[in-house]
Structures are given as structure tokens and as C-alpha cells.
């Protein structure tokens, strides 16, 4: 079993996955950003890292092809996007769909896209949260695996709300990856079914 984690920045979700003692033989971390702080976290844990600097590629297709080449070499059971800030093309998504997941900082389908916490505050919602979902060609709209909700509190800023959501991300992402690696996730009619634990 091999897990590939794609990051672009701080890598706190990647760290939560690395600390979760997942049932996987090998983990590889790949970043499109050579300065991603998450790369240091991975290296300090002796995790293999690769950088595919998107600025060196003329277009999305060639970037996705270079990324695919590295990922294919890992023969991944699962590819987990964790704070990965590039939009992946349909060819890439179709190649890895059913074993390509993402964590999004909102209760999808609400607030797909960027700046989710500021938008949630702007809308005055009382409940916000995060979602782990399968990645499909339609951005932030794949079958939902697990969600967590947090209250929006008086005086919240995008930062305070975001920090509360991030705490929950670090709980639900390892849970979703563990379920997947245990083979307990199936998708029927676009909806995820998680089999109960087989004792
Ligand atoms: C965070 O906003 C998180 O909600 C989203 O990506 C951003 C960075 O995450 N998933 P990470 O700390 O790099 O995992």
C-alpha cells in the first residue's frame, strides 16, 4: 500500500496524516511549491519528497504530465490532496479518480472555491466546517466521504474560524484515509458508503 500526499503550503493536514500511523507501507509527499513549509516537516520525518515547480511548466497539461510521471512511479493506492492549491486537469483526475481525495475547508456543497471562511462570515452562517471528498472534474463537488461541523462564534474572524475548522480537518482527514486504506469505502449513485468495521 502506498500513499501520495500533494501539498502547496504549510502542510498541517499532511502532518496530521503522517502522525496518524496509517496502515500504509510507503508515503511520498509531492509539492508544486519548492518553498512549501510542509516539505521540511516531511523531510524531518524521513518521508520521501518531490517538488514539481509549476512555474517551470508552460501549461497545465505539461505540469500534470510531470506530476503523473512521479506519482505513477509511486504506484499509489491513494492520492490525497492536502492544501494543494493547483487545479488538476480532467486527464489527471480521470486517471486517479476513485483513489483521489481532497479536504476542503467548508461544509460542501456550501462555499466551494476559495476564501471559504470569509464567505461564511459574510453570509452569517451559524455552522461551518470541512469536508473530505473524492475529486472529480467538477471542482469541489465529488462524493462526500466525511464532514465535521464547527460553530461560528461572535467576533470570529476568518483566522479564528479557519483555525477552528483546521483542528477538525486534522481529525477527519486521517479518518477518511484510514477508511479508504481499510477498503471500507464504496461509491454508489454518486454517494459514499462506509462499511462498518469487520471484526
Ligand atoms: C487550509 O486552509 C486548509 O483548510 C485547506 O488548505 C489550507 C492549508 O492546509 N485544506 P494545510 O495546512 O497546508 O494542510
pLDDT digits (tens, 9 = 90+) for 37-80: 999 999 999 999 999 999 999 999 999 999 999 999 999 999 99
pLDDT reading at 199 higher than 80? no
Who contacts 72 (Cβ-Cβ below 8 Å, separation ≥6)?
Answer: none
121 is annotated as contributing to ligand binding:
no
Looking at residue 44, its pLDDT comes to 98
How far is ligand 1, taken at its centre, from the CA of residue 6, in Å?
11
Give the closest residue to 173 by CA, choosing from 129, 139, 125.
129
Q: Which value does ipTM take for this structure?
A: 0.96
What is the SS3 assignment for 30?
Answer: strand
Give the C-alpha separation, 3 to 163, whole Å. Answer: 26
**Annotation says 104 is catalytic:** yes
Q: Best substitution site from 5, 13, 38 to test ligand 1's pocket, by max atoms within 8 Å of Cβ?
A: 13
Q: In the numeric block, which cell numbers belong to residue 6?
A: 500533494
Give the C-alpha separation, 113 to 98, whole Å. Answer: 21
Q: At what angle do helices 116-123 and 158-181 cross, to 10 degrees?
A: 120
- Pair 176, 159: CB distance under 8 Å: no
Give the closest residue to 16 by CA, choosing from 169, 178, 144.
169
Amino acid at each position: 500500500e502506498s500513499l501520495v500526499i500533494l501539498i502547496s503550503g504549510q502542510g498541517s493536514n499532511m502532518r496530521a496524516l503522517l502522525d496518524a500511523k496509517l496502515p500504509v507501507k510507503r508515503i511520498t509527499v509531492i509539492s508544486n511549491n519548492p518553498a512549501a513549509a510542509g516539505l521540511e516537516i516531511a523531510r524531518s520525518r524521513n518521508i520521501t519528497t518531490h517538488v514539481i515547480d509549476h512555474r517551470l511548466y508552460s501549461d497545465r497539461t505539461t505540469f500534470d504530465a510531470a506530476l503523473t510521471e512521479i506519482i505513477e512511479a509511486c504506484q499509489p493506492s491513494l492520492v490525497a490532496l492536502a492544501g494543494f492549491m493547483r487545479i488538476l486537469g480532467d486527464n489527471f483526475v480521470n486517471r486517479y479518480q476513485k483513489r483521489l481525495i481532497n479536504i476542503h475547508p467548508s461544509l460542501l456543497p456550501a462555499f466551494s472555491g476559495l476564501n471559504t471562511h470569509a464567505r461564511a462570515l459574510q453570509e452569517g452562517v451559524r455552522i461551518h466546517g470541512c469536508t473530505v471528498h473524492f475529486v472529480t472534474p467538477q471542482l469541489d463537488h465529488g462524493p462526500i466521504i466525511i464532514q465535521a461541523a464547527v460553530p461560528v462564534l461572535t467576533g470570529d474572524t476568518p483566522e479564528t474560524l479557519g483555525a477552528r475548522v483546521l483542528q477538525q480537518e486534522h481529525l477527519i482527514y486521517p479518518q477518511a484515509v484510514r477508511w479508504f486504506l481499510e477498503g471500507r469505502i464504496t461509491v454508489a449513485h454518486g454517494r459514499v458508503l462506509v462499511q462498518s468495521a469487520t471484526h
